[in-house]
């Protein structure tokens, strides 16, 4: 855009005029790092046109994302003096283990978001990001035997393309089944749960998460695998 600074350009990938959730991490990158990444990206694309080998692209993108999301120094927002976890009472191989993710998965045809947000398409959702951040958390129940093609995903906070192709990238139902079959865990709970992580964090921590914990305890869960997205 005319008169646009480089900082404004990279910021526009995160819910801006160039919204692309795969590259939204550029907003958090140091300006010099973002410059180096884009220059290296263009050089690598030139190489790929000759070799067809994308491995260097994946490696450099991973490293750039890691640097952008792990700035030097300690961020007090993510430092906690305690944790809610407790030691296991018995070996995992004897426990009933459940799965909860913030990936936004749901059963096709069933409600999957607060009513005021349920009609947004994925593209529309990114334009109403503030509404999601204020919304009441909404928990979806997903039977673990549900076929992949009957599982939907809606989460305007991340690029869902990989999750649509393979649920196990962010909701590892099949991997959990394998662990149960191999005896790594005693039993995989028959119902997994997912919610849109881009939601009211205050409501989540103070109201809904404690209620959800009681719910799965009533279902006999003895441990849980939590997958943040």
In this prediction, residue 229 has a pLDDT band, given cuts at 50, 70 and 90, of confident
| CB count in 10 Å sphere of residue 162 | 14
Region 205-209: what's the mean pLDDT?
Answer: 94
Please tell me the predicted confidence (pLDDT) of residue 69.
82
Contact 63, 54 (CB under 8 A): no
Region 75-92: what's the mean pLDDT?
Answer: 76
From CA 1, how far away is CA 11, in angstroms rounded? 13
Task: For the chain, give the mean pLDDT.
Answer: 90
pLDDT per residue as tens digits for the range 18-44: 888 889 889 888 899 999 999 999 999
From CA 101, how far away is CA 139, in angstroms rounded? 10
Please name the residues in contact with 35: beta carbons below 8 A apart, sequence gap of 6 or more: 6
- Over 70: is that where the pLDDT of 78 sits? no
In this prediction, residue 70 has a pLDDT band, given cuts at 50, 70 and 90, of confident
Domain ranges within the chain, ordered by starting residue: 6-69, 92-227
pLDDT per residue as tens digits for the range 103-160: 999 999 998 988 888 888 888 888 888 899 999 999 999 999 999 999 999 988 888 9
Please tell me the predicted confidence (pLDDT) of residue 177.
97
| CB count in 10 Å sphere of residue 152 | 18
In this prediction, residue 74 has a pLDDT band, given cuts at 50, 70 and 90, of low
In this prediction, residue 94 has a pLDDT band, given cuts at 50, 70 and 90, of very high
């Amino acid at each position: 855009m005319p008169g646009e600074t480089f900082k404004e350009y990279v910021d526009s990938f995160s819910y801006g005029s160039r919204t692309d959730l795969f590259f939204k991490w550029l907003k958090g990158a140091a300006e010099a790092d973002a410059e180096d990444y884009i220059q290296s990206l263009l050089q690598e694309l030139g190489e790929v046109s000759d070799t067809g080998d994308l491995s260097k692209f994946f490696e450099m993108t991973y490293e750039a994302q890691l640097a952008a999301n792990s700035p030097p120094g300690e961020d007090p927002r993510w430092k906690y003096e305690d944790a809610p976890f407790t030691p296991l009472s018995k070996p995992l191989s004897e426990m009933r283990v459940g799965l909860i993710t913030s990936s936004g998965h749901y059963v096709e045809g069933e409600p999957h978001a607060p009513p005021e947000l349920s009609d947004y398409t994925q593209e529309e959702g990114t334009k109403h990001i503030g509404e999601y951040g204020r919304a009441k958390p909404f928990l979806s129940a997903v039977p673990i035997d549900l076929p992949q093609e009957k599982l939907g995903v809606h989460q305007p906070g991340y690029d869902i393309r990989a999750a649509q192709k393979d649920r196990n990238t962010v909701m590892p139902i099949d991997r959990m089944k394998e662990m149960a079959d191999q005896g790594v865990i005693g039993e995989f709970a028959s119902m997994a749960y997912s919610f849109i992580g881009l939601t009211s964090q205050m409501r989540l921590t103070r109201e809904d998460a404690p209620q959800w914990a009681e719910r799965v305890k009533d279902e006999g869960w003895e441990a849980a695998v939590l997958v943040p997205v």
